[in-house]
């Protein structure tokens, strides 16, 4: 295990010149014009007496590999392609988990057991015994899904608004008091309905499944958007005048919420006190924990007493009313295998040259998985004697709209189980999604809206390990806009994120990992042109200057161009696959990686009082994806 000790290395690279990286890149880009080739040489003198950080370049500059669509792993991870990936000079590896973004459960080992083996359904635990190497694995869709939208393929839908009376959403049973040991209302579950615009609302009909909520309340949001909060928003959920329901008995009773309709866009149903009943034939207690809803009708009772439902019901992500939920039951069936969520096998990755013989940061599923399946994965990795950098618990829970207390409870359950058989494991996460200024959630009873602060308070109270922080940096959603103003914002935006996390209480004495970084989560031309190279270089320099430990590039494996926002073609990638042969095109991100790893970040053998570096970057408009950057170390007196 790598414990991230601050000492013990023979040779370290002080970030003497990191402060000039941002300025040099900004000047270089600002002078590039479409009319011709320009260059501006920038010189800077930096004092080396007060380094802001220290690192070993071969151990600090990493990259990640992720899951992809059906058949793509075999195309991407050939021996030839892996050799080309390694030639970029990046060192440590992180394995990314697509299932946690796609509302799916991960069968990390195709061999395993079902909680209901007769019907090949229920809760899955992959086999932790050693057998044939795992070269490929898949995600499985969750038939009790609640969210309309996901952050992966986004091709699923909510069962709450699918129009099928036989389907239902169910919350995660591991948030019930049976597993958490907390009061029933400590992890109240919720459903949010987003109409897209304001509708006239005064009545609701919830078609309850089992278990149902014995107590629930119906609220509305008076402001703009409760799912994407900003620091200057001070709105909060307000209850409908007749929206508090006590001693409920399930069923599908129509309830009048107010005498006069409210014009609202967002409505929330918040549930506590599960009935702990089950309609399932088995004796698995998880079937009776949490809450289940088959369908929701929400609308207006008119003057004649007729109810008009404003919810659009369809088994289609684009045709149904948007639904958000607090959690989802990881129950599923063998038939729910999703070939479009293909993960490279753990053995394939960890036995390959991709690791660079360095410890690997490996994830376990948390939000859409079970503690037993996570524990089995780690036991398997330990039996294989793989070198592990740490175990990342889940991925982007904030982006899945999980409350900090709910995710902390799931994190705690997994962390305790892992610690029960190995106390040396480094546990952390949760690979926070990119955010601006502050990571916010709905206020708790004390008015605290900080997602990370409340998460940390919970796990500290639970006395479980939090050995490292991981977060992602994708600052620019609009890949259609002029990238020049965006690039100038990189240090400020990254600095604001990290300063906010420090204020939230993230310890400064644990490693901070930028587990993914890239220009945008959407594909566009800036990522494959010079702007992508400039972004990557500046993001790495800014992160290390701000005290970060390891940045991991996203887009390590070769990939194809795509036009997600219908304005330009691009993708997060260093190498471009050819659709008709095995050739690879080296893109600007590849050149940037080589520049950073093989020139800028080479260990300095002599101590210098001062160092001067000249930078110049030329953009050649006749070859838009080629960036030629020259870096020269000027001679300086040594002492």
The tens digit of pLDDT for each residue in 324-358 reads 999 999 999 999 999 999 999 999 999 999 999 99
Q: How many residues does the chain have?
A: 639
Backbone angles phi, psi at 436, to 5 degrees: -110, 130
| Rounded mean pLDDT, 429-458 | 97
Pick the more confident residue, 606 or 330.
330
With tokens 């260093």, the residue in question is 574
pTM here? 0.89
Task: Indicate whether 627 pLDDT > 50.
Answer: no
Pairwise CA distance, residues 143 & 168, whole Å: 8
Task: Indicate whether 113 pLDDT > 50.
Answer: yes
Nearest to 243 by CA among 225, 221, 227: 221
Pairwise CA distance, residues 195 & 148, whole Å: 12
| Rounded mean pLDDT, 2-13 | 35
Task: Indicate whether 317 pLDDT > 90.
Answer: yes
Domain range 159-329, CATH class: mainly beta
> With the C-alpha atoms ordered 67, 68, 71, 75, is the resulting torsion angle positive or negative?
negative
Task: Indicate whether 29 pLDDT > 70.
Answer: no
Of the listed ranges 298-302, 317-321, 596-600, 627-631, the one predicted with least confidence: 627-631
High-pLDDT (> 70) share of the chain, %: 87
With tokens 């928003």, the residue in question is 233
| Rounded mean pLDDT, 217-235 | 95
The verdict on whether omega for the bond into residue 211 sits within 30 degrees of 0, i.e. cis, is: yes
| Rounded mean pLDDT, 380-405 | 98
pLDDT at 39: 62
Query: Sorting pLDDT into bands at 50, 70 and 90, what band is 46?
Result: low
Pairwise CA distance, residues 429 & 398, whole Å: 12
pLDDT at 525: 97
- DSSP string for residues in 109-139: SS-EEEEETTTTEEEEEE--S--S---EEEE
Q: What is the pLDDT of residues 527-569, one digit of tens each?
A: 999 999 999 999 999 999 999 999 999 999 999 999 999 999 9
Query: Sorting pLDDT into bands at 50, 70 and 90, what band is 602?
Result: confident
pLDDT at 54: 87
pLDDT at 37: 56
Q: What is the pLDDT of residues 396-417, one digit of tens each?
A: 999 999 999 999 999 999 999 9
Task: Indicate whether 172 pLDDT > 80.
Answer: yes
Q: What is the crossing angle of helices 530-545 and 490-503, to 10°?
A: 40
Task: Indicate whether 70 pLDDT > 60.
Answer: yes
With tokens 């809450």, the residue in question is 291
Taking residue 482's Cβ as centre, other Cβ atoms within 10 Å add up to 10
pLDDT at 38: 59
| Rounded mean pLDDT, 143-155 | 97
7 backbone φψ class: left, alpha, beta (φ>0; ψ -120 to 50)? beta
pLDDT at 40: 64
- Residue-wise over 342-379: b if at least 16 C-beta within 10 A, else e? bbbbbbbbbebebbbebbbbbbbbbbbbbbbbbbbbbe
CB 143, CB 331: distance < 8 Å: yes
Nearest to 428 by CA among 555, 557, 553, 550: 550
Pairwise CA distance, residues 373 & 366, whole Å: 9
Pick the more confident residue, 143 or 37.
143
- Both tokens assigned to 150: 């996901």
Please give the helix or strand (H or E) that residue 514 lies within, else none. Answer: strand 512-517
CB 582, CB 558: distance < 8 Å: no
pLDDT at 52: 86
High-pLDDT (> 90) share of the chain, %: 83
Q: What is the pLDDT of residues 80-100, one digit of tens each?
A: 999 999 999 999 999 999 999
* Half-sphere exposure at residue 363, Cβ-oriented, CA atoms within 13 angstroms: 31
* Mean pLDDT of all residues belonging to the chain: 90
Distance of CA 356 to the CA centre of its chain: 25
pLDDT at 492: 96
pLDDT at 529: 97
Query: Sorting pLDDT into bands at 50, 70 and 90, what band is 617?
Result: very low
Q: What is the crossing angle of helices 404-419 and 451-462, to 10°?
A: 40
Q: How far apart are the first and last CA of the chain?
A: 38
Largest CA distance in the chain: 92
Pairwise CA distance, residues 517 & 539, whole Å: 8
Nearest to 96 by CA among 402, 400, 395: 395
pLDDT at 600: 87
Task: Indicate whether 615 pLDDT > 60.
Answer: no
The answer for residues whose C-beta is within 8 angstroms of residue 102's C-beta and 6 or more apart is 139, 150, 151, 152, 153, 156, 338, 341
Task: Indicate whether 631 pLDDT > 70.
Answer: no
| Rounded mean pLDDT, 53-57 | 88
Query: Sorting pLDDT into bands at 50, 70 and 90, what band is 48?
Result: low
> What architecture is domain 58-100+343-562?
Alpha-Beta Barrel (3.20)
Task: Indicate whether 592 pLDDT > 60.
Answer: yes
Query: Sorting pLDDT into bands at 50, 70 and 90, what band is 36?
Result: low
The domain segmentation of the chain, as residue ranges, is 24-43+614-639, 58-100+343-562, 159-329
Query: Sorting pLDDT into bands at 50, 70 and 90, what band is 45?
Result: low
């Amino acid at each position: 295990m790598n414990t991230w000790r601050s000492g013990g290395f023979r040779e370290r690279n002080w970030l003497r010149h990191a402060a000039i990286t941002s300025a040099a890149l900004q000047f270089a880009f600002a002078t590039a014009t479409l009319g011709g080739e320009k260059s501006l040489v920038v010189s800077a003198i930096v004092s080396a007496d007060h380094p802001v950080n220290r690192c070993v370049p071969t151990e600090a500059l990493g990259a990640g590999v992720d899951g992809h669509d059906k058949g793509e792993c075999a195309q991407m991870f050939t021996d030839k392609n892996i050799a080309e990936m390694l030639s970029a000079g990046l060192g440590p590896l992180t394995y990314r988990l697509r299932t946690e973004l796609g509302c799916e459960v991960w069968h990390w080992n195709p061999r395993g057991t079902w909680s209901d083996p007769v019907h090949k359904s229920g809760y899955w635990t992959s086999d932790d015994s050693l057998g044939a190497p795992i070269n490929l694995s898949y995600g499985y869709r969750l038939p009790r899904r609640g969210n309309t939208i996901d952050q992966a393929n986004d091709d699923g839908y909510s069962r709450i608004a699918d129009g099928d009376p036989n389907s239902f959403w169910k919350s995660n049973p591991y948030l019930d008091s049976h597993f958490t040991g907390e009061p029933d209302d400590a992890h109240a579950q919720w459903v949010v309905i987003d109409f897209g615009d304001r509708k006239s609302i005064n009545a609701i009909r919830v078609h309850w499944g089992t278990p149902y909520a014995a107590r629930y309340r119906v609220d509305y949001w008076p402001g703009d958007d409760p799912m994407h909060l900003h620091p200057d928003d001070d709105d909060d959920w307000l209850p409908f005048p007749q929206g508090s329901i006590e001693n409920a008995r399930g069923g599908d009773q129509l309830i009048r919420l107010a005498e006069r309709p409210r014009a609202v866009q967002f409505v929330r149903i918040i549930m506590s006190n599960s009935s702990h009943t089950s309609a399932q034939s088995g004796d698995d207690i998880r079937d009776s924990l949490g809450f289940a809803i088959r369908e929701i009708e929400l609308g207006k009772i008119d003057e004649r007493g007729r109810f008009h439902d404003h919810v659009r019901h369809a088994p289609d992500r684009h045709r149904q009313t948007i639904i958000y939920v607090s959690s989802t039951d990881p129950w599923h069936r063998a038939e729910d295998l999703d070939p479009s969520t293909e993960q490279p096998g753990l053995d394939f990755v960890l036995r390959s040259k991709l690791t660079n013989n360095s410890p690997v940061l490996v994830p376990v599923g948390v939000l859409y998985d079970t503690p037993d399946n996570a524990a089995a994965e780690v036991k398997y990795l330990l039996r294989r004697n793989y070198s592990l950098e740490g175990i990342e618990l889940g991925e982007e829970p904030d982006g899945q709209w999980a409350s900090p207390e709910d995710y902390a409870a799931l994190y705690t359950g997994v962390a305790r189980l892992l610690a029960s058989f190995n106390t040396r494991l480094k546990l952390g996460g949760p690979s926070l999604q990119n955010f601006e200024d502050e990571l916010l959630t709905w206020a708790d009873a004390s008015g605290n809206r900080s997602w990370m602060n409340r998460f940390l308070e919970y796990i500290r109270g639970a006395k479980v390990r939090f050995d490292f922080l991981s977060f992602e940096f994708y600052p620019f959603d609009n890949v259609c806009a002029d990238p020049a103003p965006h690039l100038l914002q990189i240090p400020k935006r990254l600095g604001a994120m990290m300063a906010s996390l420090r204020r939230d209480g993230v310890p400064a004495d644990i490693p901070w990992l930028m587990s993914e970084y890239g220009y945008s989560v959407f594909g566009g031309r800036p990522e494959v042109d010079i702007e992508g190279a400039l972004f990557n270089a500046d993001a790495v320099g800014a992160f290390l200057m701000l005290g970060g430990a390891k940045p991991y590039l996203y887009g390590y494996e070769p990939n194809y161009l795509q036009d997600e926002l219908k304005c330009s073609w691009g993708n997060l990638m260093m190498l471009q696959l050819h659709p008709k042969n095995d050739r690879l095109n080296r893109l600007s991100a590849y050149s940037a990686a080589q520049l950073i790893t093989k020139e800028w970040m080479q260990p300095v053998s002599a101590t210098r009082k001062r160092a001067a570096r000249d930078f110049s970057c030329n953009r050649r408009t006749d070859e838009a994806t080629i960036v030629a950057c020259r870096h020269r170390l000027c001679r300086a007196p040594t002492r």
